[in-house]
Structure 1
Amino acid sequence: MTNDLDDLFERLRLAKAPAEIEALQDGIWQLWLTTGDQQLDKHLEEGIRALSAGDYTQAISLFTHLIEAQPSFAEGWNKRATAYYLRGEYRASLLDVTETLRREPRHFGALAGWATMLRMLGDQRGSLHVLRRLERLCPNLPGLPEQIRNLEDELE
């Protein structure tokens, strides 16, 4: 899986067309959303359904089970970070984003979420730093150059 992931990330870094970028990100998500354990994959799916239904407490519970069963699985941390974020628990979300990035430093979803939370919390400089990290992964991500420019303008 690592070689496939490395290849997809290299292609993502070079991609210019929005449709190509989206397709590559989708391919990466497909790899990220597999635990390698059928039972844990079911927990992940249930958690995603709970998240979509707005049942953040249930989603957090399911993702916590997943994290306890397989702590090295970055996407369990990322999904729980998302549930905490949607529930307005930014501190808990930021802690889980940190754990996600410890396991998968290239996690563009976690980086984008981190940048958004930092900006919401008034840390424009921190948000810009994270967006520049995201830019190294995918320089042509639609909307990213504008976000960076806007933050740079705010900080001048």
Structure 2
Amino acid sequence: MVVKFSKLKAIVAATSLTVLFSVPLQVYAQETLDEAGLLAALSDSDPNEAIRLDRSLQALWSSSGSPAMDLLLKRGKDALDRGETQMAIEHLTALTDHAPKFAMGWYERARAYFNAGLYGPAVADLERTLMLNPNDYNAIFALGAMFEQFNDPKNAYDAYQKAQAIHPHHEAITNALDRLMTAVEGREL
């Protein structure tokens, strides 16, 4: 019986090593990429890979490093999802007060302000977001949407182009650029 058990251990070990070395090393490398690595990979990715990289970036950017601040972010986002804009603003204001260097808090509060029709504070929070994280393509896209709201298609188009340079496969950005192309670049004769 002891002999059979030791053979089983050897078989399990050999199988584990075979599986370990047959998995592409690229998977492990991408999981350990930092923000710069994720952004570089995103700009060169195919559409399917872009989805995974986007999720990784959003997870990275949504982590404040403090469980209490992460809870405030979650409560603010949940309130926004439920349509409780004022409650979202309160949670997100507490977050930006206590974690002023956490860009995602400013971005989410900008979304809440926009939903409340408070466009000036929304733009100010988007500017603060981009000061803290200039690569946040969702914040750049939101700024473009604000320019569109103000009937400024040229600045909206420029913002969308900047966002697309970071995330070339972002569907909403591509749709916005297609929508504004004729208005900004004119028609070809």
Q: CA deviation at 1:15?
A: 1.2
Q: CA deviation at 1:108?
A: 1.1
Q: Does the CA contact (< 8 Å) of 2:141 and 2:173 recur in 1?
A: no
Counterpart pick for 1:54 among 80, 83, 91: 83
Q: CA RMSD in A?
A: 1.5
How many residues align structurally? 153
Q: Is 1:96 aligned to residue 125 of structure 2?
A: yes
Counterpart pick for 1:15 among 41, 45, 55: 45
Q: Is 1:35 aligned to residue 64 of structure 2?
A: yes
Q: CA deviation at 1:139?
A: 2.4
TM normalised by structure 2 equals 0.76
Q: Is 1:44 aligned to residue 91 of structure 2?
A: no
Give the unaligned 5+ runs of structure 1: none
Bigger relative contact order (CA 8 A; separation at least 6): 1
Secondary structure at the residue paired with 2:158?
helix
The amino acid across from 2:143 in the alignment is: W
Give the unaligned 5+ runs of structure 2: 1-32
The amino acid across from 2:43 in the alignment is: R
Q: Is 1:105 aligned to residue 134 of structure 2?
A: yes
Q: CA deviation at 1:148?
A: 2.3
| Higher Cα Rg, which structure | 2
- What stretches of structure 1 move > 6 A for 4+ residues in a row? none
TM normalised by structure 1 equals 0.91
Distance 1:109 1:143, change over 3 A: closer
The amino acid across from 2:40 in the alignment is: E
CA distance in 2, matches of 1:144, 1:111: 10
Alignment of 1:51-130 (within 5 A): 51-130=80-159
The answer for the alignment partner of 1:153 in structure 2 is 182
CA distance in 1, matches of 2:103, 2:180: 28
Moved more, 21-30 or 73-82: 21-30
